[in-house]
Amino acid sequence: MIFRKNAEEMQTSSKSVVDRLVDNIIEAIITKEFRPGDKIPTESELSEMMGMSRNSVREAVKILVAYGILEVRRAEGTFVVSNYNDKMLNPMVYGIILSGRDQAGLIETRRIIDTGVLSIVIEKVTDKEMGELEDALEALKRELFREKPSAERIFDADVAFHQSIMRLTQNDILNGIGIFVDRITKLSRIKTTENIIAMHRLEELYEMHREIISVLRRKELSKVSPVIADHYKYWIRTER
């Protein structure tokens, strides 16, 4: 078994015992030795297999639970998670926060994703789903045209609008990446919205979102890239 083979290789690694076990379990999942929903060996079994203390095993399992990779079920044991959850992206979030890099790459990534998402959704969106998207647009409109608009409330409504489109892909990976980008770029997007409020361009912001709905309803695939490019112009300008 790969898991047992890796246990032998762990002895020559320069990483800590806990980190080595974390890597070992992840590798076993990647190579399908452990599959989603599988129960992994008990603490005592892992301790014996890896030649390490139960405390180290316990710490490694805690890390993988925090990452959303494993889940502990009382009286049953520890299992590989079978469904996607947003905790799985936390290490990526922390890495970007700690790296101190600017967000230009994230903005570019989100733009590419949004273009792809619209291209997918445009082919299969139903009339009922279009109605739901229009409800999300209406909720955003209410926030945009309040007597005293709030950048934070507009951000929340904007996120809800885009997530309602993203969900129509029925792709948990895309949804997770979208949630991750929303989280890590929140402050810059709120700042961008504050600038748009100050410039009295909320009507234009609304029209950008309305045009997305129009492109989806008319199924105009050729207009997907231009409408997304227009949608990002203020955000990109603020980030430079």
Cα–Cα distance, 41 to 207 (Å, whole number): 55
8 A C-beta contact, residue 78 and residue 69: no
d(CA 170, CA 126): 14
Query: What does the block give as tokens for 57?
Result: 């095993």
User: 70: which strand partners?
Assistant: 80
- In whole angstroms, give the CA distance from residue 174 to residue 114: 10
pLDDT at 9: 54
Residue entry with tokens 């009295």: 200
Measured distance CA(206)–CA(134) in Å, rounded:
12
Q: Please give the Cα distance from 173 to 16 (Å, whole number).
A: 30
Q: What is the pLDDT of residue 101?
A: 56
Smallest CA-to-CA distance from 64 within 48, 33, 49, 85 is with 85
Q: Which residue's structure tokens are 């994230």? A: 106
Predicted pLDDT at 240: 46
- Which three-class secondary structure state does DSSP give residue 198? helix
Asked if 80 and 33 count as a contact pair (C-beta separation under 8 A), the reply is: no
Instruction: Indicate the residue type of 167.
Output: R
The whole-number pLDDT of residue 51 equals 85
- The single-letter DSSP state of residue 146 is S
Predicted confidence pLDDT, tens digits, the chain (240 residues):
545 545 555 554 556 889 889 988 988 888 888 999 999 999 999 998 888 899 999 999 999 998 888 999 988 999 999 887 767 766 666 666 555 555 677 778 888 989 999 999 998 999 999 999 999 999 999 999 999 999 999 999 999 999 999 999 998 888 888 887 887 788 888 999 999 999 999 999 999 999 999 999 999 999 999 999 988 888 755 544
What is the model's pLDDT at position 38?
94
* DSSP of 21-59: HHHHHHHHHHTTSS-TTPBPPPHHHHHHHHTS-HHHHHH
Structural domains of the chain sorted by starting position, each given as residue range(s) with its CATH number in brackets: 2-83 (1.10.10.10), 89-239 (1.20.120.530)
**Cβ proximity of 13 and 52 under 8 Å:** no
User: CB of 88 within 8 A of CB of 46?
Assistant: no
pLDDT of amino acid 98: 57
Mapping DSSP to helix (H, G, I), strand (E, B) and coil, where does residue 71 land? Answer: strand
